[in-house]
Structure 1
């Protein structure tokens, strides 16, 4: 199974580490050069990382495991008003991006208020397109405990909730983190930076658990391999986005209009099978109508095969 890492170091001899990653069957997901420094996000089989670390030590680089690389996270606010949205939402989203995640900020249409707050069916489906959700609630304990928790009930992805009050256990949330209420300034103080680290660590733990679940019931093809094959087909070049294909734990987001490109994407050859045969292609609830690819597990495909044999 692939694990995700971040390499930071000098440009000198960095080509050696890039070549070794590819030799081991790994993938370079993102490469950024800043003057004489290199930042590399990559994935390699878990058992091969020691080889990469040896090379990194030789050229004075540093490798860190990053569980959030290869994920897309929804950062959810009850509204876009100044009452809810400003600094905690943006600071949290920025910190998650630094850790390698792709993030989108979502504000619900009717999340304002205590008794009247709600989430629509379309918003639930949209949030479930992501690998996990970080929900930013407010300052009032009774509002969170008695009303806002109901927003989380039917959402099936891992959920991290942050808010102002200290709450020991919040129903329907995987983790609750307090002391993150309304802010008039950016979260720059040491104490606030530690709180951002706490949120990141809690989310990383949830993502690690999800990866272990996938390991127990493995996907028919790794999302990284599907991403490479889709890129080799060249279809992603028709997208105007600077990152036309995003990795998910169990699939991909392809930023092309669903109605126009679904058929073409579903017919891409993946190791002798069509992508549409080994994965489900869904229409995103986002305004851009992206193609969301959910790769089937090996056990599911075996089940389908057995059912077809019985019918025939």
Structure 2
């Protein structure tokens, strides 16, 4: 199937929950392969136009329900081992202490994610500055966050480590 052939390449390096919408029903697909995804919604074709019909709206509700279920499960996992800092608080620290973020023309220069942030500043120029940025007296961003280049443009990804790894709660 196309999922067997293409999925490994598509998923490479992606660590966020993945919900796939596809043609075959979940039951039909599982007879062939158990897709290595967090959620699946079957019997979904292409949405090539506005979804006005009740059947189309019902299918969109099913997609939303599956995404909600997957995200709720991820939140439960995070609650068992909380993050060292909330992504929203980390965003506030960066907004307050990094002047260059206010010069970014994107409507969202910092994007909050479940367990981190995407900062729309050039990685080579700002990764070290962010890593050394103090959150509190003896705690820097680098102490509690993994910093990596984004695969999407020249942005910076900040993944907050859980308390069990850092023994720091800010």
Counterpart secondary structure, 1:186:
coil
Q: Given the alignment of the two structures, is residue 280 of structure 1 paired with residue 146 of structure 2, yes or no?
A: yes
* Displacement after TM superposition at 1:230 (Å): 1.1
Cα distance change on mapping 1:255 and 1:190 into 2, 3 Å: same
Q: Given the alignment of the two structures, is residue 209 of structure 1 paired with residue 66 of structure 2, yes or no?
A: no
TM-score by length of 2: 0.82
Counterpart CA distance in 1 for 2:72 and 2:108 is 24
> Is the contact made by 1:152 and 1:173 (CA closer than 8 Å) also made in structure 2?
no
Q: Counterpart of 1:74?
A: none
Q: Counterpart of 1:186?
A: 50
Cα distance change on mapping 1:246 and 1:264 into 2, 3 Å: same
- The runs of 5 or more residues in structure 1 that have no matched partner are 1-141, 304-312
Pick 1 or 2: higher relative contact order, CA cutoff 8 A, min separation 6: 2
Q: Given the alignment of the two structures, is residue 174 of structure 1 paired with residue 42 of structure 2, yes or no?
A: no
Cα distance change on mapping 1:232 and 1:187 into 2, 3 Å: same
Q: Counterpart of 1:16?
A: none
Aligned residues: 160
Deviates more, 1:166-175 or 1:187-196: 166-175
The match for 1:220 among 61, 79, 84 is 84
* Displacement after TM superposition at 1:264 (Å): 1.9
The match for 2:5 among 133, 147, 161 is 147
> Is the contact made by 1:238 and 1:256 (CA closer than 8 Å) also made in structure 2?
no
- Could you say which structure has the higher helix fraction? 2
Counterpart CA distance in 1 for 2:80 and 2:24 is 37
- The runs of 5 or more residues in structure 2 that have no matched partner are none
Counterpart CA distance in 1 for 2:8 and 2:128 is 38
Counterpart CA distance in 1 for 2:148 and 2:83 is 17
After superposition, give the CA deviation of every residue in 1:78-124 in whole Å (9 maximum; x if it has no partner).
Answer: xxxxxxxxxxxxxxxxxxxxxxxxxxxxxxxxxxxxxxxxxxxxxxx
TM-score by length of 1: 0.47
After TM superposition, the runs of 4+ consecutive aligned structure 1 residues lying more than 2 A away are 146-157, 182-188
* Displacement after TM superposition at 1:197 (Å): 1.4
Q: Counterpart of 1:251?
A: 116
Counterpart secondary structure, 1:195:
helix
Q: Given the alignment of the two structures, is residue 298 of structure 1 paired with residue 155 of structure 2, yes or no?
A: no
